[in-house]
Structure 1
Amino acid sequence: MDESGDEPAEELFTLIAAHRTTVREGLGDERYALLLARLDALAAVPCGDTMAVRRAYRYVCHVLLDLPYDHPVRDAVGALRLTAAPPGPRVAVGARELTALLSAPPSAQPGAALGTTDELLGAAALSADEVRARFGAEAPARGLIRLPDPVGGDRYPQFQFREDGGSPHEVVLEINRLLLADLDPWGAAAWWLSGNTWLGGTPASLLGQLPDERLVAAATALAEGD
């Protein structure tokens, strides 16, 4: 495990993002608003102040303990050793991106139209072996959405790759970074594969049809919570 403590924090944030709808329902309006405030405070802590980072991260976890006992996020928080090494500098980035995701209206959130893991895993994708066969040892995994499938292994949604030669779309890599796909691959995949009222269709189907700038602007609006 990363000694900085980033890995468990990233895993927790990924779990929160994947279950954001039931997190909102389980906490209720008042406690959900407190969660957003705690995440915002964590994002604002200077990364070099390890004690303040640890304290702010604990406050986030304490709010999540108000979830029902059988909620997977509460289970994860209960399993964490909160006295372990404090989260590292990446946790502030993760908290900022998670706050933007959770603050979006439900109709604008990435998973509003297509959000279950089964639905996302059912979309056309390349397997990890196919990606390695296509790109060799230097597979361009960084910046790509990788969905872990416990049955079939990792899957890379196919819309990310050009049909001619199969190299990744540069705009996809740019938007995946905006959506913090390495932290929340499910949320990023759902944004690409769900209907978007701003764009008039699913972003993945509009690659090459709309200017890249419009796709980036739509993703930026979500990432910044506009």
Structure 2
Amino acid sequence: MALADLLGILWEQWDEVQQYLDEPTRARIQELLDAPGADPERTARRIARLVNTAVPEGHPIRAALDDSVRYSRGSAAARISPDDLARRMRALVVPAAVQASDPPVTPPADADDWLLDADHVTAADYRADGHDPADPDLIRLTDRQGTVRLPSFQFDGASGRPLPLVVAVNRLLDADDDPWGVADWWLGANAWLNAVPARLLGTPGERSLLAAARAEIAEW
């Protein structure tokens, strides 16, 4: 599914769809629209999953999202650029007054604020260095002022690029959907490893990290 096709569907049916979206879902959709990353089609699929989770089973929007070809022919998606559609959708998802005054995402009520004290780079600085802070394989923590922080242990100190091992673990633990939980896994003491996982990066002990992450999943 192309991002333009998805946005066209949502634009056409927003009055119906928006009644099913709670504020966290609206905020997450806006975050994805603000930073679609290097793979807009993947972003489109993620937005589609958010919408499909929110609307009732059997709702027509589910079939519409699964039939992007039918909607792309002669629809708004075929006539309007993805950037224009994204601007329109942002205005629908979060009204301008709210966008101006409130951060798009805040920590959950039970967030461990100590995680925000870890060494990090802000999303703005990471983007300024030529990298993509919206990469779904990265941990992104938003503080109560709306600043997005990316814990520094995820990156190669020389290049600034994500460490492949960290990406593999983050993907396995689903950092995109549970950044706080995955940050806690990396930065907290781990009984299986008898160590803090992030401190093993760059040491011989890092060979055990993937196995420890799989063991974590097995306990869920």
Per the normalisation by structure 2, the TM-score is 0.50
Cα deviation for residue 140 of structure 1 reads 6.6
Q: Among residues 110, 130, 144, which one is paired with 1:150 in the alignment?
A: 144
Aligned position for 1:197? 191
Find out whether 1:206 has 2:204 as its counterpart: no
Deviation at 1:150, TM superposition (A): 3.1
| Shift in CA distance, 193/165, structure 1 to aligned 2, threshold 3 Å | same
Higher relative contact order (CA 8 A, sep 6+): 1
Q: In the TM superposition, what are the counterparts of 1:85-124 in structure 2 within 5 Å?
A: 85=59, 116-124=111-119
Name the larger-Rg structure.
2
**8 Å CA contact 2:136, 2:175 repeated in 1:** no
Q: 5+ unaligned residues in a row in structure 1: which ranges?
A: 13-53, 58-79, 89-114
For structure 2, which runs of at least 5 residues remain unmatched after alignment? 1-6, 11-16, 26-51, 63-109
Give the whole-Å Cα distance in 1 for the aligned partners of 2:194 and 2:127.
34
Kindly tell me: are residues 84 and 123 of structure 1, through their superposed partners in 2, closer, same or farther at Cα, counting changes over 3 Å? farther
Counterpart CA distance in 2 for 1:183 and 1:84 is 24
Q: What are the Cα deviations for residues 75-101 of structure 1, in whole angstroms up to 9, with x where unaligned?
A: xxxxx775794997xxxxxxxxxxxxx
Distance 1:85 1:124, change over 3 A: farther
The alignment's TM-score, normalised by the length of structure 1, stands at 0.49
User: Would the alpha carbon gap of residues 201 and 212 (structure 1) be closer, same or farther in structure 2, given more than 3 Å must change?
Assistant: closer
What do the CA deviations read for 1:7-26 (whole angstroms, capped 9, x no partner)? 969x68xxxxxxxxxxxxxx
Deviation at 1:212, TM superposition (A): 3.7
Q: Distance in 1 between matches of 2:139 and 2:61?
A: 24
Match of residue 33 from structure 1:
none
* Aligned residue in 1 for 2:121: 126
The answer to whether residue 169 in structure 2 is matched with residue 188 in structure 1 is no
Matches within 5 A, 1:1-226: 85=59, 116-136=111-131, 138-139=132-133, 141-225=135-219
Secondary structure of 1:165's aligned partner: coil
Q: Percent identity?
A: 37
Cα distance between partner residues in 2 of 1:166 and 1:119: 23
State how many pairs are aligned: 134
Paired AA for residue 134 in structure 1: D
Secondary structure of the 2:121 match is strand
